[in-house]
Amino acid sequence: MEHIRLPKVENVRLLDRVSPRRSRVGTLYLTATHTIFVENEEGVRNETWVFHSLVCSVEKQGVTASGCPLLIHCKNFQVLHFVIPREQECHDVLQSLQRLSQPESYEELYCFSYKPNVDEDERRREWDFLDLKADYSRLGLPNSLWKLSPVNQRYKVSDTYPADLFVPESATPPVIVGSSKFRSRGRFPTLSYYSKENHAAICRSSQPLSGFSARCLEDEQMLEAILRSNPRSDFMYVVDTRPKLNAIANRAAGKGYENEDNYSNIKFQFIGIENIHVMRNSQQKMLEVCELRSPSMSDFLEGLENSGWLRHIKAVLDAGIFIAKAVAEEGVSVLVHCSDGWDRTAQVCSVASVLLDPYYRTLRGLMVLIEKDWISFGHKFTHRCNHLVGDPKEVSPIIDQFLECVWQLMEQFPCAFEFNERFLITIQSHIYSCQFGNFIGNNQRERTELRLNERTHSLWSYLWTNRADYINPLYRPDHSQTQGLLRPSTAPYCFKFWRGLYNRFDRGMHPRQSVEDYLSAIQEETQQLEEQLASHKQKIAQLEKEQEWKSVTQKNTTFDKSPTAWARGDDLDLANTPQDYTGGFITSSPSQPKAPEGSLILLNQDLKQTSEFNLSNGSDQESGIADLSCRSPLSEDSTRDPDSDEAAYSAA
């Protein structure tokens, strides 16, 4: 609490990003965990809650006549634009938020104080919801080719790896330890995915410490062992996900990549995915484009191109496809690495798994996959997501890119995924929110030390409990799109800008009606009807009970579709609101008439029109005028009138 300099500010305005003249007035509260804005308007209890952990940056802008603007950017891409009446208050809020959003120790994180009404037994069970060993045994492991190795039990060999690792049957502890000494951070080659059908595997590691000429017999034996664990194949791919130039540069630092001459039967391949710094800058540029107030189509597309974001997404997906095809179509095992093997490697392995295995396209499957390839293998969530105050150069949206790759695939295969876009967006939000313990810490060792599963709640069981919200109504386990390997196109035109995530809070931009919600309602209704029909048939003999059921059925057949017709209840207003049709893209807007005072119009019409007119028109007209006054198509900023005689002459 000591960080809160000012718990409450009155008369704060919250501006609408898309049409800034639309604003709400209310009270801003700072609590230990949230920033809360409560709208003043009578009757509506409109509240905006923002986790401090989601705050990415706070920025105070120059004082204006109306107050001091405060801009808050969030990690879930919400942008809040407040105007605070007095500069001192604004300054205090800024100082408080800057401190609150950058905790110095884990103990300050929200997950340790988040206490929903759940008893301890149940809380413990939350953490048993996902079991990685169960997933490995689903893949058929251990078996005669792959074994569970105890070598990293106390994180002795690699402190960033999980304790349980699968290695080739023939890999002995000396080979593993030897190999780990030849790899950055001791991250030796280990199994990520295994294909039961053809024994091909995806393995992952960090880069070898090969420098210009160093060799390591054990590392060579390790790869040999991986190759031998795929009896039908006589070679394997080693995929370095970095651009070749970066890999070569690493050689100067005693790191680098595998020399094909030293390893028997490997095919070495570079796939140029850029590093975390490039990705961070790219996302920053893209977000700047998203935030343009009224960009023209060209501004937007040029900005999107210059950000390079979609190019990077395509690179990750291309790499995933390469690996998935090697495994599924060629039956060849693949070893994937980048530098440390916890960013690009995690992206590429998990994308490949989604493409390969329909299980990872289910709700539970995607959770398992993130738990495995990201959490257990030591993606540095604390650093990448900036949970604690730290080096800004360590921050990078690597996991966002993975989620986006999944989304891009969902857009191409609408029937192949059990979950919907909302599922991905919710996960994205909670990766950063620190409400749950799952994404705290940089690796398993840290998480064990923090005793997260004793002290926090798990996101996975929360998502599972609410799974009804995350189901894709078009998913069919038996659909042809769902079967086996997904073969997406990576033609550039197949990639879309993910409005649903990056402009998530700009509701005016989204479709006003949701097909998905509509279908979900229909699906639920269909299910109910089917059940009723079944029990109907069962009891049809019993005359008494039949009567009873009939009434129930009747109630349900009058199912009203319309509540789902508009995306969300509270969007109804919005749905019927014209957009800002003047935008910034129209170069000339001469002779714009002055917007008449709302009351004036009504008055005029009252005088001149019949009463019937007013009756039919009433409220709609009113809301229309209220709206007009804050937008520009017919508004006051009129420019030069070409109609005037001077203009005509000068043209003549």
Q: Which residues are catalytic?
A: 338
By C-beta, is 67 or 488 nearer to other proteins?
Answer: 488
368 Cα distance to chain centroid:
16
Contact 152, 161 (CB under 8 A): yes
Which DSSP helix (H) or strand (E) runs through 8? Answer: strand 8-15
> Which of 36, 63, 132, 304 touches other proteins by CB under 8 A?
304
Site membership for other proteins, residue 583 (CB under 8 A): yes
Site membership for other proteins, residue 519 (CB under 8 A): yes
Q: For residue 357, give the DSSP letter.
A: -
Question: Smallest gap, in angstroms, from Cβ of residue 603 to other proteins?
Answer: 11
Q: How many residues bind other proteins (CB under 8 A)?
A: 103
Question: Smallest gap, in angstroms, from Cβ of residue 595 to other proteins?
Answer: 8
- By CB under 8 A, what part of segment 109-138 binds other proteins? none
Site membership for other proteins, residue 605 (CB under 8 A): yes
Site membership for other proteins, residue 7 (CB under 8 A): no
Q: Cis omega before residue 511 (within 30°)?
A: no
Helix residue spans in 489-644 (DSSP H): 499-502, 515-538, 543-557, 562-565, 572-575, 598-608, 611-628
Among the residue ranges 96-104, 390-398, 425-433, 558-566, the one whose residues contact other proteins (CB under 8 A): 558-566
Classify burial at 230, counting beta carbons within 10 Å of its beta carbon; exposed 0-12, middle 13-18, buried 19 or more: buried
Q: What pairing do the DSSP bridges indicate for beta strands 236-240 and 334-337?
A: parallel
By C-beta, is 155 or 518 nearer to other proteins?
Answer: 518
Q: What is the DSSP string of 317-328?
A: HHHHHHHHHIII
- By CB under 8 A, what part of segment 611-650 binds other proteins? 613, 616-617, 620-621, 624-625, 627-628, 633-634, 641-644, 647-648
Question: Smallest gap, in angstroms, from Cβ of residue 558 to other proteins?
Answer: 9
Residue 27 pairs in a beta bridge with: 38
Question: Smallest gap, in angstroms, from Cβ of residue 67 to other proteins?
Answer: 27
Among the residue ranges 83-91, 134-142, 157-165, 498-506, the one whose residues contact other proteins (CB under 8 A): 498-506
Site membership for other proteins, residue 496 (CB under 8 A): yes
DSSP three-state, residue 29: strand
Which DSSP helix (H) or strand (E) runs through 147? Answer: strand 146-149
Site membership for other proteins, residue 585 (CB under 8 A): yes
Q: Which of 340, 225, 498, 361 is nearest to 350 (CA)?
A: 361
> What are residue 220's phi and psi, to 5 degrees?
-65, -40
> What are residue 607's phi and psi, to 5 degrees?
-70, -40
Site membership for other proteins, residue 592 (CB under 8 A): yes
> Which of 16, 164, 330, 525 touches other proteins by CB under 8 A?
525
Binding letters toward other proteins, positions 237-276, x by CB under 8 A: ----------------------------------------
Question: Smallest gap, in angstroms, from Cβ of residue 329 to other proteins?
Answer: 17
Site membership for other proteins, residue 63 (CB under 8 A): no
> Which of 509, 534, 540, 552 touches other proteins by CB under 8 A?
509
Question: Smallest gap, in angstroms, from Cβ of residue 432 to other proteins?
Answer: 22
Among the residue ranges 134-142, 375-383, 406-414, 426-434, the one whose residues contact other proteins (CB under 8 A): 406-414
Measured between alpha carbons, how far is 620 from 431 in angstroms, rounded to an integer?
A: 43
Helix residue spans in 182-328 (DSSP H): 217-228, 244-251, 276-291, 297-307, 309-325
> Which of 388, 518, 549, 568 touches other proteins by CB under 8 A?
518
* Interior angle at CA 49, CA 44 and CA 51, nearest 5: 175
Residue carrying structure tokens 């405060």: 70
Measured between alpha carbons, how far is 611 from 37 in angstroms, rounded to an integer?
A: 43
Which DSSP helix (H) or strand (E) runs through 176? Answer: helix 173-181
Site membership for other proteins, residue 549 (CB under 8 A): no
The residues, ordered by sequence, that sit 6+ positions from 605 with a Cβ below 8 Å of its Cβ are 613, 614
Site membership for other proteins, residue 540 (CB under 8 A): no
Question: Smallest gap, in angstroms, from Cβ of residue 528 to other proteins?
Answer: 9
> What are residue 548's phi and psi, to 5 degrees?
-55, -45
Among the residue ranges 49-57, 355-363, 448-456, 505-513, the one whose residues contact other proteins (CB under 8 A): 505-513
- By CB under 8 A, what part of segment 466-495 binds other proteins? 473-474, 476, 479-481, 489-495
Question: Smallest gap, in angstroms, from Cβ of residue 521 to other proteins?
Answer: 9
- By CB under 8 A, what part of segment 284-303 binds other proteins? 290, 294-302
Measured between alpha carbons, how far is 213 from 21 in angstroms, rounded to an integer?
A: 65
Tokens found for residue 223: 């790869």
By C-beta, is 413 or 464 nearer to other proteins?
Answer: 413
- By CB under 8 A, what part of segment 313-342 binds other proteins? 314
Question: Smallest gap, in angstroms, from Cβ of residue 411 to other proteins?
Answer: 9
> Which of 510, 539, 545, 568 touches other proteins by CB under 8 A?
510
Among the residue ranges 66-74, 77-85, 231-239, 571-579, the one whose residues contact other proteins (CB under 8 A): 571-579
By C-beta, is 275 or 582 nearer to other proteins?
Answer: 582
Site membership for other proteins, residue 18 (CB under 8 A): yes
By C-beta, is 461 or 503 nearer to other proteins?
Answer: 503
DSSP three-state, residue 283: helix
CA distances from 584 to 300, 403, 438, 634 (A): 12, 33, 44, 14
Which DSSP helix (H) or strand (E) runs through 98? Answer: helix 87-100
By C-beta, is 11 or 592 nearer to other proteins?
Answer: 592
Site membership for other proteins, residue 169 (CB under 8 A): no
> What are residue 74's phi and psi, to 5 degrees?
-115, 160
Question: Smallest gap, in angstroms, from Cβ of residue 80 to other proteins?
Answer: 19
CA distances from 134 to 125, 346, 355, 372 (A): 16, 20, 20, 11
CA distances from 249 to 211, 253, 257, 378 (A): 10, 7, 10, 24
Q: For residue 507, give the DSSP letter.
A: G
Site membership for other proteins, residue 278 (CB under 8 A): no
Q: For residue 52, give the DSSP letter.
A: G
By C-beta, is 284 or 556 nearer to other proteins?
Answer: 556
Q: What pairing do the DSSP bridges indicate for beta strands 8-15 and 79-84?
A: antiparallel
Site membership for other proteins, residue 79 (CB under 8 A): no
Site membership for other proteins, residue 522 (CB under 8 A): yes
Among the residue ranges 162-170, 345-353, 428-436, 512-520, the one whose residues contact other proteins (CB under 8 A): 512-520
By C-beta, is 173 or 590 nearer to other proteins?
Answer: 590
